Structure 1
Amino acid sequence: MDYKSQYYNILSLIFLGCIFTSSASYAQDVPPVTGDKAPEVAEVGIYVTNIFDLNFPGGYFKAAFWLWSKSKNKDYAIEKEIEVIGARDIKIDNPVIMVTSDGRYYRSVKITTTINQNWDIRAYPFDVQHIKIAVESTTSDVSLLKFVPDNKSSGYDPSIALVGWVFTNMEVETYPHAYKTDWGMGSVPESAYSRFTTTITLKRSSSRIFGTAFLGFFVADVLTGTTLIVESFASTRRAIPFIGRLNMVVGALFGAVGNKYLTTYHFHPGDLKAAKIDKPNFGRGLPISAQRRSFLKPRWNHDRQERTNLLKTQCSGSCCLS
């Protein structure tokens, strides 16, 4: 009986072993049931080496920067699978490729581009501009590729010489940008692509520009006020018979200062379409003389005879100048 018992025990063990072996092989053949596949992650960073040609009438600026990505996918080529949003022209140099210490594939490219910009100069010359460099994936949506910002290594070159401006801040962020279209594929009604955005804040050097730009207007306004004060008193009008000529000189001064302001700082009527300009605030100091004129007008009505004589004097002075 002992031999039979041992024999049956050995057969039982062999049978159980066969069952476990077949179960294990079946488990290997059947793939596990999981959710959607996680998107590939690419860490993206930027280093701005130059910003130049801030063109307000044209509504654009030019920039040069290095853009890099770090990904576990060795086939991901960032220089071929992105676009710079709002770029008029773009030049991409050959990439630098290497493997990082943590085993990720690193690709870096230098980009020089011209980007559209919506300037807001309603507060000129105390305006602050926020220029944006946005890079977006073109071949893979957010279900396949996700950008992550490299905040630690991103930045800008402090030696950038942008006359009249001061760099105050730079921020990088990533987010999915949605498009309400299926791109003609007839699938989902909308899609989203990962976008990497760099925002650089520039503050205008307002104190020097304000003095040089509006000093002529201040001087002309003082002369205009002096002329109106002189005209408000009969004694001064009799003492200065050539007040009409002085008015013409002040008018010519306003015209010369305004012409220099427009030509020097490149503001012309087209700028009102290319940038946001608050028209009532443009040349805010000019209505001062009109306010003084309305204030002093009652004084002029008290002596019509003297005003008539003054008008004759001005007319004769104008004839002499002509």
Structure 2
Amino acid sequence: MFKRILSYAGVGGIALALMSGAMAATKIKLGYSASTAFANAYVAADQGLFAKHGLDVEMILVPNSSTTPAALIADSLQIGPPTAPVTLQAMENGLDLVILGGGGITDRNASEVGVLAREGSGIKTAKDFEGKKVGTPGLNAFLHVMFREWMTRNGADWKKTTFVESPFAQLGDVMKAGQVDAVVTGDPFKTRALEAKQGYLVANYVSDMGDGIATGWFVASRKWATQNKEAAKAFQTALNEATALAKKDPAVLRKAIGAYIKLPEGVLAQVQLPALQPDVTPEQINDWSKICVSQGLTKKPTDPARVLWK
């Protein structure tokens, strides 16, 4: 009888262990850039929405999004924030990536992204950037590519401008020191630079491009998404819920931004909250594909049906 009880106990222990393993949260290393374009992920992490859907998410700051595609393929990140140009270039070069969901989108009334110039530079219009040196947080990344598109649409030749890469947090200091004539930047660093009088605003050039262009999205390797379909779906669900919560309660959104982009309270209070859209559309892929082809970053159009994960 005693042996039978032990046997039952052993079976019960094994069953509990199996149940525990089945219920264990899927671990995800989620890379993010220090930008409000990824703020719905901040909300999902800060408000426990990832955990609610069975995900154990570790948020990892990525200083340069151009390194993200390789990190996704190597599985050192499971989900990451490569900018649209970086993503489409990586895909064309053979990296099998998929877009799981979206973050920020452009809003013609927004002011969180802009180009700042140093005092004495004489820069007032798009044409004035010709012959000048402009700092950007990433060559051929979102801010850089969109600025070149803005110059083109405003009758300027971006090929006559020299672009220099520098980390987000250092752009204002680099400009104030006279190493560049202007910088393209986004909040919270744009607000911080203006507060510190490191330069003046020339244009909120991204909002000038119109509404609805994807400013941030979340990417995974196709291999990971295929092998972790439930986790990929859970991520999308959490992102949808976080976006809805952010729209409903701006205080929650601002708090989450402060949690993942370390800012003084005074600066955080003035940061413009982003427009967010958790679903990336075929039209948004097509918009970016046209821009990348026109600038010679990619050679052929990207097929939305292939790159959007459903």
TM range (shorter): under 0.3
Larger Rg: 1
Structure with bigger strand share is 1
What TM-score do the two structures reach when normalised by structure 1? 0.27
Higher helix share: 2
